[in-house]
Chains A and B, each alone.
Chain A
Amino acid sequence: MEIGVKLYGEFKKYAPKDDDRISLDNGGTVAQALRSLGLNDRDLSYAMVLVNNIRVKFDRHLQDGDRMDIFQPIGGGAEKLYRYVGKPVPRIDARDKVTGRTKYSTDLSFPGMLWAKVKRSEYPHANILKLDVEKARKLPGVEAVLTADDIPGHNGFGIITPNWPVLCRDRVMYMGDAIALVAAVDEETAERACELIEVEYEELPVVTSPEEAMREDAPQLHEKGNIMHTMELRKGDVEKGLEEADVITEGEYSTQFMDHAFIEPPGGVGIYDEEEGILTIWCGSQYAFRDQLQIARAMNWDPRKIRVIGSPTGGAFGGKDEITVQIHLALLAYHTKKPVKLWWTREETLIVNSKRHPMKTKFKIGATKDGRFTAIDVDVTADTGPHDTIGAPILNLALESSPGPYQYPHSHFKGRSVYTNNAIGGEFRGFGAPQVVWGVEQEIAKLAGKLGIDPIEIRKRNALKLGDISSLGHTMQTSVGVTETLEAAENSDLWRNREKIIRELNKKHPGKLHGVGMASEWHAVGLGVGIPDFANIDLEIHPDGKIVLKTGAIEIGQGNITAYAQMLAEALEIDMERIEVAHGDTFKTPDSGSVTASRSVLVNGNAIIDGADKIKKRAILEAATILVEDPNNLVYEEGAVRSKSDAEKIVSIENIAEVCCRRNKPLQDVGANIMAISDKDFGDGLPHNYYTFITQVALVGVDLKTGQVDVLRAVSAPEMGKAINIHGVEGQCEGGVVMGQGYALYEDLKMEKGQVLTSNFTTYIIPTAVDAPDIETIIVEVPEKTGPYGAKGVGEAPTVPITPAIMNAVNNAAGIRINDLPITPEKVINALKAEKR
C-alpha cells in the first residue's frame, strides 16, 4: 500500500527522496512506517504523528492512501528541539552505584595501609596546659602520633578565614576540635593510642548562645571579639514604608542546628609517593582544587605536588566543601610514608562537622489594603560556633533570601554572625535561606490572612518580574519565574482541590485535622559579585569515537555528570553513550570551581558549550584539509563535517580525530565560562545574578491528641530556567522535600553547655521512607538566555520553602503557629492548649 508522508523540522532529513509517498506492506503500523523512513528509537521517543490530521499512537494500523504528518512536538513554537536536553535521562553513574561497583574514597584499601584516628577535645572550651603523647607513641603498632608541632605550614583551614586549627595547640573551642593524630596498624590500636594521649586542660567558661556571646562580660572567643561578621543593606526608607502600610505583621523565628546526614561520613585515604614527591588524597569533597590549596597551605608544600581526588563523594549537601580529613591524611601519609585511611564515625560526624546555623530572625512587613507590600525590616542573628569556615557569606545570603521573591519599595536588612562554643555553623544546602524563609513565608501567610487575600494571590501581586528592581536594589536581569511557579502550584491538584481533599480526610480520620499550606522562595545561583565564579572543561575526541569530557566538578550524588553529558551530546549532536566524563581530580581534570551554590550546571554547562563550539570550528578546519574543500563551504552536523554542496564529501569527527592524531595535533580543546554578575555590588559577594524560583505546597494531618504532624502530600513547582535532566530535577525536588520535612518536624542537633546530646541516628532523627509524603514535581521553565540551553540551577531551592509550607499547612489545619523549629508534637500540644485558652 502507498502512504503519503510529510516530515517537519529536524525530521525533514528522513524525507524520501524526490517523493512524498512510501510503500508499506498491507496492515503495516505507524511504527513500521516511521522505521522504514529511517527514524531511530530516539526519534520515536518524541515524534508526534498525525494520520489524516488526527493524532495517533504508533501501533495504529495504516490503510492505503493514508497521509502521515510527522512532527517534533514544538512547545510554544519558538523553543529549540533537543535530543537529550530536557529529557528524562537515566543517570550515567546509576548502574555502577546501585550494583555497588562504584568505589568511593572510603572503600579504598591498599597493602600495608594504616588506620588513623583523631584525638579530640574533651571540653567545649578549655586551655591545653599539657599534652603528652609519649605513651601513645610507645604502644606497639602505632606508627605516628602527630601534634600541632608537626604541622610544617599554617595551622589552620577555612574557606574564607583559615582560623579552624588543624590541630589545637593552646586552646580548644568546641567538642570537635582536634588535638592530635594517630596512625596505627589497625583501627583498634589507633583508638587505644588516642586513649593513651594525656591532655591536661584548664576549663574555660562556655559560651552557649549568641545572646550570651554579645553580653559585655562574655568571655571573648577571638581577638576581634565575639561578633564574627555583620552586614546591613538598605533600600528606600523602611520607616516611611511602614507608615504607608495599612497592615503590619511582625514575628520572631528561630531555628536549630541541622546535620547534613549524608550517607558517607567524611573519610578517605592518603598516600605519599616518596620517589615522585607526590601526595595523593582520595576524599569526600566538593572542591578538590580548593582542598589542594588548603592542604598545601598547612603542609607548606607546592600544591602541584598534591593530588586530590574528590569524585565520587557519597553525599555532601554543603558539608564537604570545607576541609574534613584532607589535611590530617596529608600529614599522616607524609610522616609515615605509608597509605593511611581516616574515616570519621557517624558520632564524630555529628559532633565535628559543620551544621546549618541556628538563626533568630525578626521580621516586620507592611502592606496596603489591596495586598501590596510597602516595606520589610529584617534582623538576623546567627550562631556560627567557634571557627569561621564560610559563616560570613551564609549570613549574607540569609539577608538576601529573607524578603522572598517579592517587590518591596522600602527595605532594611541587618544581621550578625556570632561566635560561640557550640557546633560549627557552616555550609549546608540552602546556605542561610531555610532559616529566614521559614519566617518570612509565615509572615506573608499571616498578612494574607489579615487582609483576607488568598495566599497565592497576595504573592502574585508582589511577585518580582524580569527587569524589576529587587527588594535589595539590584536589577532582576536573568529569567524570573515567580509568577509561573505560583501559577503552577495554584493549578496543581492538591491546591485546586484542597478543600475537598481536607474535608474527606477529616471525615475519614476523626481526631485529626488536615490542612494545606504553601510557600515560595528565590534562591541565588552562583557565588555572587566579586567572588571568582568560573569553570574550565577539557574536551577530547578520540579516534575510536569516544568523546571525553573532563571537569573538576565533583559528583556528590547530585547527578551533574549526567547533565554535562546530555549538554555535550546536544552540543556536538552525537549519541550520549559515546561520552565519558572524568571528574573531580586535580591531576586529571581542570578546575571547574566548587559544586556549591546550585551553580555547577550553569557554569559548567556554558563551559561545555564553549568547548564544543571550539571543537566544531577546529573540526571544520581539519576537515577542509581532509575533504579538500573550502572551510566556508563546510558545515558541522551530527558528529560530522560535510560539504554544503556535495553530499559525498563528509567526514566524521572520529575520523577527523584520527587524522589529527596522526598529525600529532589531537582533536581536543578547552572550554571556559565566567559567571555573569549583577549590575550592583553590595560588597561581600552580594547580590547574585541568577535565581531559582520555587513554590511548594504541603498537605498535613495534625493529630489533635498526640500533636503529631504527618506530611501526606507535597508539590514542588521549581523554575530553574530549563530542566536539563527531568529525572535530575525530580530527584532534587523529592530529596529536597524530605530534607525540608526533616528540618520542619524531626531534625535537631541538641546542645547543652557545648555538648552534643544527639550524636547518633537513634537520637538525631531524620525522616524514613515511611514518614516521607507522596511527592509531585511540576517543572516550570522560563529559559534564561545566558544559561546553557536556558538552564540556571536547582540543587538547593527544593529543600527551602517546604518547611514553612508545612507550618502554613499546620496553621490551615489547626489554627496554630510555632515559631521555633522543629515542630515537635510537644510544641504542637502546647500550642493547641494555648489556642484553646
Chain B
Amino acid sequence: MRPFDYLRPKSAEEAIEMKARLGKKASFLAGGTDLLVKLKEDAVRPEALIDLSFIESLKEIREADGTVAIGSLASYADIGSSPLIERFGYILRQGALEIGAPQIQNAATIGGNIANASPAADGIPPIYALGAHITLVGKEGRRVVAVEDFFTGPGKTVLKEDELIIEIGFPKMMEQDKGFFKKIGQRKALAISKASVAAVLHIANGKIEEARVALGAVAPTVIRCPKTETLLKGRKISGSLIEEAAKSVSSESMAIGDVRSTPEYRDYVIGVLFERGMRNIFSDILP
C-alpha cells in the first residue's frame, strides 16, 4: 500500500469542499471494503482519502412523504436491521443480508456500494426494482438522478469529480406491492453473485399493474428488463405467465464469462432465480 493523506471532514459540506479542492487526487472513503482492497492491490493510487465515516448525518434512514431515504453512509448492517426498510423496502433488506458476511455488512455502506458501481453488487438490483433516486451534492449544488441513469459501465457512473452521494430515496412499497431479491454465488455465503435478480410488482385486482425487474452480474451495469416488464403488465398471475416471464428474463440477460461462471449458465440461471422468486411471493395463489 502507498502512503496517502488522511482527511476527516465533520460534515458533508466540508467533505465536498475538500474533494473540490483536491479533485482526482483524492478519493472518498466510506466503509472501505472495496477501496482498501484496491489500494492494497495498487489498482488505485489516491494521494488523499477523505474519510466520511464520522459524518453522522449521512447515516440516517428516514421516511418522508411516501418515500424512504437512506443516508449514503448507512451500512448494510444498518439497512438489514432497519424496521423502515423491512416494512417499505424489504427486497433491499434481502439484498443487504446476502452481501459478503456480517463483518462486511458492518463496514460496507450503500453509498460506497453504489459509487463502486460493480454490476454484481447485491445492493443495487433492489434499488433498481424499487425505482430509487440518488441524490448527489457537489460544488455546483444538488441534483437527483434516477438509479438507471446513474451507472454508465462497470465501475463507471455519472458522478462528477466533486460530487458526493448523499442519499438514496425510493417510494415505499405498499401493501399491494410484492417483491423479492434472489442471488446465486459460488457457495452459500461470502460469495460474489454469479447472477442476481430483484423485482417489485404492483398488484391490483389480481393483476400486475406494474412490474420492475432488475438483473445483476449479467451486463456491464445492473439492468432493467423492459420486455419482461411489458410482458407482465396487465396480466393475471399464473404458473405459465411466470415461466414465460422467466424465459424472457433469460433472453434479456447479456452475461459474459469470467472466473465465476459462464455466459450460458448465467443467462439460463437468472431465469431460474426469477421463477423461484415469483413462485415464492405468489405461493398463496399458485397451485
Which residues of A are at the interface with B, using a C-beta cutoff of 8 A? Answer: 188, 191-192, 347, 705-708, 710, 746, 750, 757-758, 762-763, 765, 767-768, 770-771, 825-826, 829
Contact = CB atoms under 8 A, between A and B. Distances in A.
16 contacts: A188-B1, A192-B2, A347-B41, A705-B272, A706-B184, A706-B269, A708-B184, A746-B187, A757-B259, A758-B259, A762-B192, A763-B260, A768-B188, A826-B262, A826-B264, A829-B268
Contact of B187 (A347, A706, A771): A771
B260 A829 contact: no
Contacts of B2: 188, 192
Contacts of A705: 269, 272, 276
Interface string B174-216: 0000000000101111111000000000000000000000000
Given A708-B184, A758-B259, A826-B261, A768 B272 contact: no
A262 B188 CA distance: 21
A154 B60 CA distance: 64
A824 to B, nearest CB: 8
Nearest to A704: B272
B3 A188 contact: yes
Interface residues of B, number: 22
Contact of B191 (A750, A757, A765): A765
Contacts of B272: 705-706
Given A825-B265, A826-B262, A765 B187 contact: yes
Q: 8 closest pairs, A vs B, by CB?
A: A770-B189, A826-B265, A770-B188, A705-B272, A765-B186, A763-B259, A757-B259, A768-B189
A787 to B, nearest CB: 39
A33 B184 CA distance: 62
A478 B186 CA distance: 43
Nearest to B266: A826
Contacts of B260: 763
A767 B185 CA distance: 12
B259 A771 contact: no
A435 B269 CA distance: 30
A705 B264 CA distance: 14
Contacts of A706: 184, 269, 272
A826 B195 CA distance: 13
A192 B191 CA distance: 33
Nearest to A703: B272
Contacts of B264: 826
Nearest to A511: B276
Contacts of B268: 829
Nearest to B275: A705
Contacts of B262: 826
Contacts of A347: 41
A188 B1 CA distance: 6
Nearest to B271: A705
A422 to B, nearest CB: 16
Contact of B259 (A188, A750, A770): A750
B154 to A, nearest CB: 16
Nearest to B185: A765
A757 B260 CA distance: 10
Interface in B94-137: none
Nearest to B276: A705
A772 to B, nearest CB: 10
Contacts of A771: 187-189
A7 B262 CA distance: 70
A184 to B, nearest CB: 14
B243 to A, nearest CB: 12
A829 B190 CA distance: 23
Contacts of A708: 184
Contacts of B3: 188
A762 B189 CA distance: 11
A762 B186 CA distance: 10
Nearest to B191: A765
Contacts of B189: 768, 770-771
A763 B276 CA distance: 26
A347 B40 CA distance: 11
Contacts of A746: 186-187
Which of A705, A707, A826, A829 neighbours the largest number of chain B CB atoms within 10 Å of its CB?
A826
Interface in B1-56: 1-3, 41
A765 B185 CA distance: 10
Given A188-B1, A767-B187, 10 more contacts: A191-B1, A192-B2, A706-B272, A746-B186, A757-B259, A765-B186, A765-B187, A768-B190, A825-B269, A829-B269
A825 B264 CA distance: 12
Interface in B214-267: 259-262, 264-265
Nearest to B186: A765
Contacts of A826: 261-262, 264-265
A761 B277 CA distance: 29
Contacts of A765: 186-187, 191
A750 B259 CA distance: 8
Contacts of B1: 188, 191
Contacts of A763: 259-260
